[in-house]
A and B are shown apart, each in its own frame.
Chain A
Amino acid sequence: NAGVTQTPKFRILKIGQSMTLQCAQDMNHNYMYWYRQDPGMGLKLIYYSVGAGITDKGEVPNGYNVSRSTTEDFPLRLELAAPSQTSVYFCASTPRDSNYGYTFGSGTRLTVV
C-alpha cells in the first residue's frame, strides 16, 4: 500500500513548455485533489475529482487541465508554462468526501524559467 504517489519529484521547465504531473493512489479513494503551495504560503486548490470521469475547477484552475479516467490516476496537465506556475504541487485523496482526512503525496517541485 503505497498511498499517494507523485512523479516527478522535481522538474525545471522553460517558459512555454508543457508537462504532465502524475498522481496515483492505491487506496480506492473516490475523491482526489490537486493543490499548489507557493513558498511560505498555504494550499490553493487547482482541480478536484469526485470519481472517475468527474472533475471540476477549484480556486486557481487557469493554466491547468486534469482528467480522471480511472479511480487510481489523476494527472495534472500544464500547458504553456509561465513563471507564475513555479510552485510545489501536491496531490491528495480522501475516501468519500471532505469529511475525512486527506492523504497527500510527497509533492512535485516545479520551477519555470
Chain B
Amino acid sequence: GENVEQHPSTLSVQEGDSAVIKCTYSDSASNYFPWYKQELGKRPQLIIDIRSNVGEKKDQRIAVTLNKTAKHFSLHITETQPEDSAVYFCAASYSGTYKYIFGTGTRLKVLA
C-alpha cells in the first residue's frame, strides 16, 4: 500500500550547522510533497511544499529537493537555530485524493 518512510527519527545538530531530513514515498502518482513543523505542544504548521514539476524550492534557510526517479524528497535547513528545534513531518499526496500519507516524523534538536 501507500507508504512514506522518514529518516532519521531523531537528529541532533550544533547551532549553525545544517540539518537534512529524508523521505521516501511508494506511490509514483504522488505529485505534492509538503513539510510540516510541530513545536512542542503546538499544532503542525506548513513550512514549505514542492510539486512534482519542480526539482527544488527554497525559502530563506529552508529548502526542499525532490528526486522523482528515486521517489524521495528531502528537507534541508541551513544555519540552524535553537528555534528550529521541533518535530518535522513530511507527507505525499496526489491530485484528486482526500488525504496525505504522512511520514512518522523527525525530532530535530539544535544544541546551543
User: Which chain A residues have a beta carbon within 8 Å of chain B's beta carbons?
Assistant: 31, 33, 41-43, 45, 48, 50, 56, 58, 90, 97-107
Contact = CB atoms under 8 A, between A and B. Distances in A.
B98 A101 contact: no
A42 B34 contact: no
Contacts of A103: 46
Contact of B31 (A41, A42, A99): A99
B34 to A, nearest CB: 5
Nearest to A3: B43
A79 to B, nearest CB: 24
A42 B99 contact: no
6 closest A-B pairs by beta carbon, nearest first, are A98-B93, A101-B46, A104-B43, A99-B32, A99-B95, A98-B97
Contacts of B36: 102
SS of A interface (majority): loop
B99 A98 contact: yes
30 contacts: A33-B99, A42-B104, A42-B105, A43-B89, A48-B98, A50-B98, A58-B99, A90-B43, A97-B93, A97-B95, A97-B97, A98-B93, A98-B94, A98-B99, A99-B32, A100-B32, A101-B34, A101-B46, A101-B49, A102-B34, A102-B36, A102-B46, A102-B100, A103-B46, A104-B43, A104-B44, A105-B43, A106-B42, A106-B43, A107-B43
Q: Is the interface of B mostly helix, strand, loop or mixed?
A: loop
Contacts of B89: 42-43
Contacts of A100: 32
Nearest to A49: B98
Interface string B72-112: 00000000000000000100011111111011110000000
